[in-house]
Structures are given as C-alpha cells and as structure tokens.
C-alpha cells in the first residue's frame, strides 16, 4: 500500500473512532438530560486528548505520511463534528417541542 493511502486510511480510522465514541456518549447522555452538557464537553476534551496521543504515537512509530494523515483526520473530524452538533441541536429542538406540547 502506498504511504499516501496508509496515512489517509489511518486518519479516517482515528476520526471515525472519535465520532463513534461521541455518538455512544451522546446516546448514553440523552436518557439522562442533566448530564448532556457535562458529557458533551467532558467527552470532547477526553476524545481530543486521545486523538492527540494516538496521532503522536502513529506518527512517531510508523512511516505514515503526516500530511495525508493530518489532512484526512481533520477533514473527517470536522464532518463528524458537524453531524454531532446537528444531532444535539435536533434532539434539543425535539425535546423543547415535546415539553411545550405537554
């Protein structure tokens, strides 16, 4: 496999793992409304730290091309972050709508 594609695949994999962790944390917190903000902010901090550590380890101990790795990681990370924000806003709007109808 060419180094370019290895970097892209690794970047996408790390970003998707981060997105999956975010989705699981949100799913857990949605049934506990008092924990939404701490879970969103706390998990974001922990996930960013883990992405940084994993990225440093991958770039230090493998021959991945850092440009392709970082580029794909950032691109997929931003897309997933946008989806996470949209999901939170959608859920908040649905909860407000349900509260106003009762």
Q: CA 10 to CA 4: how far, in whole Å?
A: 10
Residue 1 pLDDT: 63
| DSSP calls for 18-83 | HHHHHHHHHHHHHT-GGGHHHHHHHHHHHHHHHHHHHHHHHHHHS---HHHHHHHHHHHHHHHHHH
Residue 98 pLDDT: 80
Check: CB of residue 40 under 8 Å from CB of residue 88: yes
pLDDT in tens, the chain (102 residues): 677 899 999 999 999 999 999 999 888 888 887 888 888 889 889 999 999 999 999 999 999 999 999 999 999 999 999 998 898 889 888 878 887 776
User: Which residues lie below 8 Å from residue 80, measured CB to CB, with a gap of 6+?
Assistant: 15, 16, 18, 19, 22
Owner of token pair 């994993």: 54
The token pair that represents 26 in the structure block: 């949100």
């Amino acid at each position: 496999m060419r180094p370019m594609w290895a970097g892209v695949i690794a970047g996408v994999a790390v970003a998707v793992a981060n997105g999956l962790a975010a989705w699981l944390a949100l799913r857990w917190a949605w049934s506990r409304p008092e924990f939404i903000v701490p879970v969103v902010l706390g998990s974001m901090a922990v996930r960013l730290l883990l992405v940084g550590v994993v990225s440093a380890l991958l770039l230090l101990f493998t021959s991945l091309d850092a440009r392709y790795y970082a580029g794909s990681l950032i691109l997929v990370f931003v897309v997933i972050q946008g989806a996470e924000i949209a999901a939170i806003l959608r859920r908040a709007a649905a909860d407000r709508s349900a509260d106003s109808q009762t």
